[in-house]
Amino acid sequence: MTRFQSLSDSEMEIMKVIWEMAGPVTTSQLLELFAYKGWKVQTLSTFLTRLTEKGVLRAEKRGKNKLYSPALTQADYHKQEAKYVIDSMYHGSLLDFLAAFYGGQGISKTELEELKHWFEQEAQHD
């Protein structure tokens, strides 16, 4: 993925299903799983194309079918999404993000200890 692009609610719903599946999936399988939405083949195909263009989904042609599999893990997608939010809205400052997130509400001692422990662990990996 060259530039991060957030997923729409429907795209995220599709990706959650694909991430949960054990192997590659076909459009037919996804149509069955999303039958309750009443999506037509073209609607689902449009979503799958967008997901492929965004770099979170990989498409492989096998005979008449396309098989879709994740190009990123769910955790990797969420890391990229969090980094994008912090970079674009908080000038890359985690401290500014945390200050905005807590917005004067304060942070509990337990949360502060958990954050301190997490930062110490992260520092050891550097």
Most confident of 78-82, 92-96, 118-122: 78-82
Identify whether residues 23 and 43 lie together within a single domain: yes
- Measured between alpha carbons, how far is 92 from 124 in angstroms, rounded to an integer? 21
The CATH number that applies at residue 13 is 1.10.10.10
Domain count, the chain: 2
Identify whether residues 12 and 32 lie together within a single domain: yes
Identify whether residues 53 and 11 lie together within a single domain: yes
Q: Domain of residue 6: give its range.
A: 1-89
**Burial group, residue 97, by CB count within 10 angstroms (0-12, 13-18, 19+):** middle
Identify whether residues 84 and 124 lie together within a single domain: no
Identify whether residues 5 and 56 lie together within a single domain: yes
Higher pLDDT pick, 78 / 106: 78
Question: What pairing do the DSSP bridges indicate for beta strands 25-26 and 65-70?
Answer: antiparallel
pLDDT single digits (tens) 2-57: 578 899 999 999 999 999 997 899 999 999 999 999 999 999 999 999 999 999 99
CB atoms within 10 A of CB 19: 15
Identify whether residues 64 and 102 lie together within a single domain: no
